[in-house]
Amino acid sequence: MRVTYGSYEGCRRFELAPGDRAWPSALDELDDPPRRLYGYGNPEALSLPSIAIIGARRATPYGLAVSALAARIAVESGVAVVSGGAIGCDQAGGRATLEAGGTHVAVLGCGADVVYPAGAADMLRSLAAGAGAVVSISPWGAPPARFTFPKRNRVIAALAQALFISEAGAPSGTFSTAETALALGRELICAPGSILSPLSRGTNQLIADGATCIVDEASLEVAISRVFGTLRFSHGPAPGVPGLSGAERRVMSALTAAPERVEAVARLLDASVIRALEVLGSLEGEGLVCRLPDGAYAPTVRALQSATSFGHNR
């Protein structure tokens, strides 16, 4: 486990206790609330109207794209974003928040002065410098440990008025955050996924149990507007996609629904495996598809952000 200490030199460091002016009162709603909060950045960010965006660490391009979409809508609705800063969906939401000019609070499962995971160093540095805050209930210098993350998850749920889960398997650590959010009366919003995807099993189950189901960008915008009483002030244009052939559009439409192996793509096109590989290779060269570790092909994050452009041309 690689961690880095003291990398926020020059950034504002703070400690908060109940009763302090900047103490987020939402934490007092927890059973056995924390007695101290350690952090870098802007402590005022902890009390902003916020939505937590969390999900799978080993996320698919779908999960990453949905997390980024939720973050962008939140920022354009004047809502801050909270996450655990973990790889996968958490970081996708956090980075999209910063790219959109919003405020992000990362709640760590280690000391706030410990950069973990290491891949989040640039994002955490931006937050510590004032684009939000990096906080923890663990004391300074505390390394990440398995038992600290469930406690971290309670803080994430408390700080946010709503919890958005883009992708999560079952069982999953995401569920502890969801359970706390529900216990606190927070809104639980989930993106559905393919019933064939293990990483959507958790979100699909939460929806079956009563979580708000997001069916498209508009429904997510409506849900955020309903929870926070705000209107989205900007609808940024979706990234464009190059002109696609009929075969490429059919493949992209199918892969947007669920990742597929090359044999399934060949059946879809009623063509040989070699032809399917040619089409997939062309799409991969354009940055529209990628090959997953299990050998299946899926749309990239960029492609999913432009999914409405694929159509269903046959």
* pLDDT average per 10 residues of sequence, the chain (314 residues): 60 94 96 95 95 95 95 93 96 96 96 91 94 96 92 97 95 89 97 92 96 94 90 56 75 83 92 93 91 90 65 42
How many domains does the chain divide into? 2
Q: 152 and 200, same structural domain?
A: yes
Nearest-CA neighbor of 54 among 96, 95, 82, 26? 82
Continuous segment of H or E residues that includes residue 105:
strand 104-107
Torsion of the alpha carbons at 10, 15, 21 and 25, rounded to the nearest 10 = 120
State how far the Cα of 48 lies from the Cα of 239, in Å rounded to an integer: 30
Q: 9 and 152, same structural domain?
A: yes
Tell me which of 158, 193, 228 is where a domain ends.
228
Nearest-CA neighbor of 180 among 199, 203, 156, 204? 156
Q: 176 and 102, same structural domain?
A: yes
Q: 257 and 218, same structural domain?
A: no
State how far the Cα of 227 lies from the Cα of 32, in Å rounded to an integer: 26
Three-state SS at 169: coil
Q: Is residue 240 part of a domain?
A: no
CB atoms near residue 246 (< 10 Å): 11
Q: Is residue 264 part of a domain?
A: yes
Q: 128 and 213, same structural domain?
A: yes
Q: Is residue 237 part of a domain?
A: no
Q: 103 and 75, same structural domain?
A: yes
Q: 127 and 177, same structural domain?
A: yes
Q: 215 and 158, same structural domain?
A: yes
227 half-sphere exposure, CB direction, 13 A CA radius: 25
Tell me which of 180, 198, 228 is where a domain ends.
228
Q: Is residue 241 part of a domain?
A: no
Q: 292 and 190, same structural domain?
A: no
Q: Is residue 235 part of a domain?
A: no
- Domain span at residue 68 reads 4-228
pTM value? 0.78
Q: Is residue 215 part of a domain?
A: yes
Tell me which of 197, 228, 259 is where a domain ends.
228
Q: What pLDDT is attached to residue 51?
A: 98
Q: What pLDDT is attached to residue 237?
A: 44
Q: 274 and 224, same structural domain?
A: no
| CATH number of the domain residue 258 falls in | 1.10.10.10
Q: Is residue 239 part of a domain?
A: no
| CATH number of the domain residue 204 falls in | 3.40.50.450
Q: 273 and 216, same structural domain?
A: no
Q: What is the CA radius of gyration of the chain?
A: 20
